[in-house]
Amino acid sequence: MRLHEDQAKSILSARGIAVPRGFTASSAEEAASVAAQIGGPVVVKALILSGGRGKAGGVRTAQTPDEAGRIAAGLLSGRLVTSQTGPSGAVVRRVLIEESIPVVRETYLAMAVDRGLGRVVVLASGQGGMELEALAAASPQAVIRETVPIPTGPSSVQAEAIAAACGLAGPDAEGFTRALLALWRAFRDSDAGLIEINPLGLALGGGWLALDAKMILDDSALSRHPELARLRDSADDDPREAEAAAVGLSYVRLDGDIGCLVNGAGLAMATADIIEMAGGHPADFLDIGGGVGEDALREGYRIVASDPAVRAILINVFGGIVRCDLVASGVVRACRDFSLDAPLVVRMLGTNDEDGRRILAESGLAFQTAETMDEAAAKSVAAAAGARS
């Protein structure tokens, strides 16, 4: 789950990382009022769940409250298109108004889960700001990468070494070290997958501040953090993804026309691949997992089948924890309750697979069966083609 900048900064501030004083606003009038309350020049930032805002004009400095109001009005009136939003952009519903703080140096500091290594890594650079990605591409050695031990996190000695590697010394290095150790506390306490501070700025008067922050939390750990789960902004989510998440299913909309209902992320990705190899295109990634009930399966099938782009549906289930008869019952209920009639191809193997196929056969639904994934993909592609013609 991604957090907005103001939400991430609140978490960082609570762990000891200084942030600029700021408030959010959802109208031009409110933005001008907030700017007047802060006093002096302010920075007006579009709050969207994507990066690249600065280069896209989503971060601008205002010298007066009236100017802050005009900038906010422009941002709040439409979508902001950045390098990370896609061509449709993201709707700006709120802006963040912060005091403008002169800095003498910008650095980069981040912590992330490296799934390949199965470790947490610290990423740091003595240079930060909007050009960091270009810097990292041109000079990979400019970004320091260090793994940190779990559960203790980086030691003071390791943090000091990272600060020194960033070219810092004296009080500046001491402040950077404290920020790094505080970042670990925020990362650990929130079960984050990524926290990125870019830039971590050294103020003209001394001291480091998180001038921008990105934070992604582990969805699987949100049950341990109800106070963080409440921060979710679902305004720009695909409604089908939100509906699937509500019943414990993992759904991602894709660009094709063959709906997929599969158990297990690995099998779901393999199913998508084999559909492509057969000449078709998957419409979604839907992993029903191993512990869902019939109601959730009914809802999952409804979500897949209700996509107007779907021309055929492939159910590919390897019954282990999840039973094939349970999947079949959910599909039959969805078809009866919602009058879903997309061509259906079923490949079921494993626990109660014969019962699953029997339930489908006795339901009166028209469906094809397949023994192998190649056969299932080929029949799905043919069914989708037939539905298009």
Q: Which residues are catalytic?
A: 108, 196
Strand 250-253 relative to strand 213-217: parallel, antiparallel, unpaired?
unpaired
**298: which 2 tokens?**
């009914």
233 conformational bin, left if phi > 0, alpha if psi -120 to 50, beta if neither: beta
Please tell me the number of Cα atoms within 13 Å of 371 on its side-chain side.
0
Q: Which of 293, 350, 338, 292 is nearest to 313 (CA)?
A: 338
CB 286 within 8 A of CB 251: yes
Tokens 């970004």, residue located? 143
Backbone angles phi, psi at 80, to 5 degrees: -105, 125
If DSSP codes are grouped into helix, strand and coil, which group holds residue 365? coil
- Alpha-carbon distance of 199 to 103, in angstroms, equals 10
CA dihedral sign of residues 85, 88, 89, 91 = negative
Q: Per the structure block, which two tokens stand in for 175?
A: 């402040």
Distance of CA 86 to the CA centre of its chain: 14
Number of other residues whose CB lies within 10 A of the CB of residue 216: 17
Q: What are φ and ψ of residue 319, in 5° steps?
A: -70, 115
Q: Strand locations in the chain, DSSP E? A: 2-3, 22-25, 42-46, 59-62, 79-80, 90-91, 95-99, 103-114, 119-125, 144-148, 192-203, 208-210, 213-217, 250-253, 258-262, 284-287, 312-319, 344-350, 367-369
One-letter amino acid for residue 228 of the chain? L
